[in-house]
Amino acid sequence: MLIESVPNYSEGRRPDVVDRLSGAVTATPGAYLLDRTSDASHHRSVLTLAGEAPAVVAALHATVEVALDAIDMEIHHGEHPRIGAIDVVPFVPLAGATIDDCITLARGFGAEVAERHGIPVYLYARAATRPDRVRLADVRRGGYEGVRDEIELLEDRAPDFGPRRTHPRAGAMAVGARPFLIAWNINLETTDLDFAKRIARTVRESGGGLPAVQANGFMIEELGCAQVSMNLLDFETTPMWRAWEAVGTLTREAGVEVRESELIGLAPLAAFLDVAAHAAGDAGPGAPRVGPDLSVEDRFAAAARYLRLRDPDPSMALELRLAAARS
């Protein structure tokens, strides 16, 4: 069975370390590194890998070894919430796999990491064993420092696997199983962080906004702008175009323009084709037609234009990237 994993590491400022993490994946037979993204402000890197389940699990274990050697949470600071060096490891079903398969893989991987390395592991999303840990934000409450200071004292901080103390360098880890998630940012033509946070609170589900959307606001120093950072938990429930339009409407009402969007990792091809179809319906008279008879590449290009996607490439679609990697 084919699965995907999108591990997040608390390192976004040292390319040599990210190279080592990526190399651990590419050196694992049967594991395919499909994407790598680093963000210096977030001090975070995200790898996207896929393959048969045993190969993906082996590659993940190899990256844990690298992270333990290279990342020290006691000196880590970044914009993004985190609890550990290997912060989040989700398992995502692809061809021939089910969410139940990924729950089994997540729990097995978490138990192995805890036993091998003494890292406390929290299960989240579909792999969670208790309702207060389904949401990743609840698991990461207080960040690394909060878990470090409370894990021995509070019963609700006891990990699912591993010791009642954080690892001296690696902290803790969240391991889960979930459907495909699109990590996607919208950059604004403003440096007002509070404004971006207000927009995020309005559009996310927990604030009464769009269903299956998580969002937060950040200041991205290297781009000189504020950002609405989103996780689309189910693009069929809330498609990319709806989130784009919601953010755009709110910002324009306040006199602020949207600069661009950026994809973190990959997205399903169907998500882009859905945007292209919506863009075609919104197009005015004389606009180029975007229909199902056009090539996938042309429809991707139409979607990228609509979303003002930075550095667009059809290989941002997971299926196309995986097919190329396996050929």
Q: Are 34 and 94 in contact (CB under 8 A)?
A: no
What DSSP character marks residue 190? Answer: -
Q: How many Å apart are CA 211 and CA 213, to the nearest integer?
A: 5
Residue 80: active-site member: yes
Which residues 6+ apart lie within 8 Å of 324 measured at CB?
A: 315
Q: Are 28 and 113 in contact (CB under 8 A)?
A: no
Q: How many Å apart are CA 65 and CA 41, to the nearest integer?
A: 24
**Amino acid letter at 199?**
I
Instruction: Output the six-digit token pair for 112.
Output: 């192995």
Q: How many Å apart are CA 54 and CA 269, to the nearest integer?
A: 25
Catalytic residue among 42, 76, 80, 117: 80
Which residues 6+ apart lie within 8 Å of 202 measured at CB?
A: 209, 250
Q: How many Å apart are CA 57 and CA 31, to the nearest integer?
A: 9
Active-site residue list: 80
